[in-house]
Chains A and B, each alone.
Chain A
Amino acid sequence: KAGVTQTPRYLIKTRGQQVTLSCSPISGHRSVSWYQQTPGQGLQFLFEYFSETQRNKGNFPGRFSGRQFSNSRSEMNVSTLELGDSALYLCASSPASGGNEQFFGPGTRLTVL
Chain B
Amino acid sequence: GQSLEQPSEVTAVEGAIVQINCTYQTSGFYGLSWYQQHDGGAPTFLSYNALDGLEETGRFSSFLSRSDSYGYLLLQELQMKDSASYFCAVRPRGNYGQNFVFGPGTRLSVLP
A residues engaging B (CB < 8 A)? 4, 33, 35, 42-45, 48, 55-59, 90, 92, 98, 100-107
Contact = CB atoms under 8 A, between A and B. Distances in A.
Given A43-B43, A56-B97, A101 B102 contact: no
Contacts of B26: none
Contact of B33 (A4, A45, A100, A107): A100
Interface stretch (B13-21, B44-52, B56-64, B74-82): B44-52
B98 interface: yes
B24 interface: no
A48 to B, nearest CB: 5
Interface of B: 30-31, 33, 35, 41-45, 48, 50, 87, 89, 91, 97-105
Closest 9 CB pairs of A and B: A104-B42, A43-B102, A48-B99, A101-B45, A100-B48, A104-B43, A42-B104, A56-B99, A106-B42
Contacts of A107: 42
Contacts of B100: 33, 45, 102
A106 B87 CA distance: 16
B4 to A, nearest CB: 10
Contacts of A90: 42-43
A58 B48 contact: no
Contacts of A33: 99-100
9 contacts: A42-B105, A59-B97, A90-B42, A100-B50, A101-B48, A102-B100, A106-B41, A106-B42, A107-B42
A100 to B, nearest CB: 5
